[in-house]
Amino acid sequence: MKVVSEVRSHGGRQLVLTHDSAATATGMTFSLFLPPQAEQGRVPLVTYLSGLTCTHANVTAKGEYRAACAAHGLAFLAPDTSPRGEGVADEEGWDIGLGAGFYVDATEAPWSSHYRMWSYVTEELPALVATEFAELDMDRQAITGHSMGGHGALTVALRHPGRFRSCSAFAPIVAPTRVPWGQKAFDRYFGGDPDLSRRHDAVALIGDGARVDHLLVDVGGSDPFLDKELRPELLVEACEQSGIPATVRVQKGYDHSYFFVSSFLGEHLAWHAAHLG
Ligand SMILES: N[C@@H](CCC(=O)N[C@@H](CS)C(=O)NCC(=O)O)C(=O)O
């Protein structure tokens, strides 16, 4: 692992790091913010999964999370959204391939050789940061994400009961098997395999019995993707039917951008901090 950059911010350390990933068989870059409290002892970790077209850099530059992380003593981990580099498959369109890994392990060629973002974010990256940063308390973790990353956060939390004390999301794709972005991705990455697809669909997972303790979700009322791609009402219905306590808020006038995410990320971090103790 190599440090690409390190800067002081809000009394903490904002790092960008790179390493060779066994999961994706590529180099991978991620960012990690360590709050000032990490200099005195171990701090909880919030993982943030980004949306379509993003790298680690979008939230790191535009997420405005550092003040809240420093106030609450939270570390903030932001991985990339796909493998990149020579030999990594891509296809025309920003909703597939590079920047659009959908947090799954692809089974179909040509994607399967590198697109293994599920293994990367659920196993390899947490193990790496746990080894490299003794100041992280991996028994106190939370997860959140935006859009495709909201889908990632929900599915990762639902399939790892007990690992995350809290899960939240911004404008998540809640039922990828039922919307164009998800259908296109699962068609390419899984050849449309219905069982694999179902295991990466938050609403379907809840229907099949997966649970989290509680959820906090914000969506923008003026998000152009709301009705066609995000469909938060399906998550509300699934949570009502399954008894998952969920706060799903429609934020009037907000769109899908980082102007929306950054407006509520501080509130989400305060909510995570309350659960992380
Ligand atoms: N590129 C698409 C938009 C894709 C998009 O909105 N991506 C979101 C996540 S789903 C994002 O965070 N984009 C990067 C950014 O705003 O920095 C378009 O032109 O309509």
Pocket test for ligand 1, best of 48, 50, 54 (most atoms within 8 A of CB): 54
Tracing tokens 């697109």 back to the chain, one arrives at: 115
- The whole model's pTM is what? 0.98
Residues 6+ apart with CB under 8 A from 42: 134, 135, 136, 137
- The set of catalytic residues is 147, 223, 256
127 burial (CB, 10 Å; 0-12 / 13-18 / 19+) is exposed
CA 147 to ligand 1 centroid distance, Å = 9
Helix (H) or strand (E) holding 4: strand 2-9
The answer to whether the CB of 121 falls within 8 A of the CB of 140 is no
Confidence at residue 103, expressed as pLDDT on a 0 to 100 scale? 99
Confidence at residue 144, expressed as pLDDT on a 0 to 100 scale? 99
What atom of ligand 1 comes closest to residue 258's alpha carbon?
16
**What confidence tier does 113 reach under pLDDT thresholds 50, 70, 90?**
very high
| 26-34 β-sheet, strand order | 2-9, 12-21, 26-34, 75-78, 43-49, 136-145, 166-170, 215-220, 246-251
Task: Provide the mean pLDDT of the chain.
Answer: 98
Task: Write out the CATH class of domain 2-276.
Answer: alpha beta
The percent of residues in the chain predicted with pLDDT above 90, rounded, is 100
What is the C-alpha separation between 85 and 19, in angstroms, rounded?
13
Task: Express each pLDDT in 223-262 by its tens digit.
Answer: 999 999 999 999 999 999 999 999 999 999 999 999 999 9
Confidence at residue 4, expressed as pLDDT on a 0 to 100 scale? 98
Pocket test for ligand 1, best of 48, 50, 53, 184 (most atoms within 8 A of CB): 53
Which stretches of 160-231 are DSSP H helices? 180-190, 194-198, 202-207
Confidence at residue 11, expressed as pLDDT on a 0 to 100 scale? 98
Tokens of 86: 């020579």
What is the C-alpha separation between 176 and 136, in angstroms, rounded?
32
The percent of residues in the chain predicted with pLDDT above 70, rounded, is 100
CA 93 → CA 100, 101, 214, 244, distances in Å?
10, 13, 35, 36
Helix (H) or strand (E) holding 251: strand 246-251
Residue nearest to atom 7 of ligand 1 (CA): 52
Which residues line ligand 1 at a C-beta cut-off of 6 Å?
51-54, 58, 62, 94, 146-148, 256-258
- ipTM reported for the complex, 2 dp: 0.93
